[in-house]
Amino acid sequence: MKKNKRLISKIDFKTDNLIKGIEYDGLRSLGSVKNFVNKYYEEGLDEIILQDCVASLFGLEPKYDQIKLFTKDIFIPVTVGGGIKNIEQIKKIFNSGADKVAINTGAIQDPDLIYQAAKEFGSQSVVVSLEIFKEIVDQNDIEEKSFINLYFKNGKEKTNLKLKEWIKKIENNGAGEILANIVNRDGTGEGPDIDIVNKIKEITSLPVIYSGGIGNYNDIYKLFKETQVDAVSVSSLFHFHYYKSLIKLKNKISKDLRYGKNDDYGNYDYVLDGYGGIELYKTEKESIKKIKSKLIKDKIIVK
């Protein structure tokens, strides 16, 4: 029997703010994480990924009190990532309300962490996150060659790992799922990288969540129809749909929020205009309910 596909949203956060950038840079606040989490749960989202996008970068401890707040009264699976380095932290994250953990930097620095986590909590609760950057190099005027590089520390540091070897290693160590983040598509709305999804599914039978470049419904449909991906994580498309209504709700916005390039610009209107070399922001905003309704109409079975 075929497994149902899953519609997920990855919420990148710093302090208590949902933030969104393009290609993991130029991060901007869009409002309170809790407001977005509550709304996404009410709208029928299948799962939520909460990613502290500065914890691993700066070697910070996971924010357990925030995780408790974000997951309170949310009765769908929640995955938490960022700053995870040992079993004790994972234990605290689960005690704070999370169902799964997503590990990238900690797994690269200590691959045995995956084995230990799977042994202690079960493979189903261990997601290994991949930060993938596809580099296109012109060979000549006719031919192009692409290189797939793996990064860590929120896309800031490159590894020497090879995609196939690393996936086989994490699979053998007991990972239960892969979150494939395509860094060079992140926040662009330019569409998914079908080629990378197919490469990953050729290597492993582990469930794969795709994240990066989703700009409209057709991108989601294409992934489910043309690949063996198990879930699609949609961020900008949902975040910017709900932004204007949720920003009106009372919430605390940190002043110490921005880092990266172009930090003298504002949030929503600026992102719509594009930045960081991207001429046009291509994401079409749409609601969770409408996307799920279209998937069902197109015979894509979602939870």
Catalytic residues: 12, 138
The amino acid sitting at 139 is: Q
Report CA 20 to chain centroid distance, whole Å.
Answer: 11
Rounded Cα–Cα distance for residues 24 and 96 (Å): 27
How far apart, in whole angstroms, are the C-alpha atoms of residue 126 and residue 117?
7
Work out whether strand 157-158 and strand 144-152 pair parallel, antiparallel, or are unpaired.
Answer: antiparallel
Q: What is the Cα Rg of the chain in Å?
A: 18
Q: Do residues 4 and 219 touch, judged by C-beta distance below 8 A?
A: no
**CA dist 138 → 8, 142, 146, 193 (Å):** 35, 8, 9, 19
234: left (phi over 0), alpha (psi -120 to 50) or beta: beta
Report the alpha-carbon distance of residue 283 to residue 214 in Å, rounded.
Answer: 7
Long-range contact pairs involving 120-126 (C-beta distance under 8 Å, separation at least 24): 120/87, 120/90, 120/91, 121/90, 121/94, 122/176, 123/174, 123/175, 123/176, 124/100, 124/176, 124/177, 125/94, 125/99, 125/100, 125/101, 125/176, 126/100, 126/101, 126/174, 126/175, 126/176, 126/177
Task: Tell me if 30 sits within 8 A of 37, measured CB to CB.
Answer: no
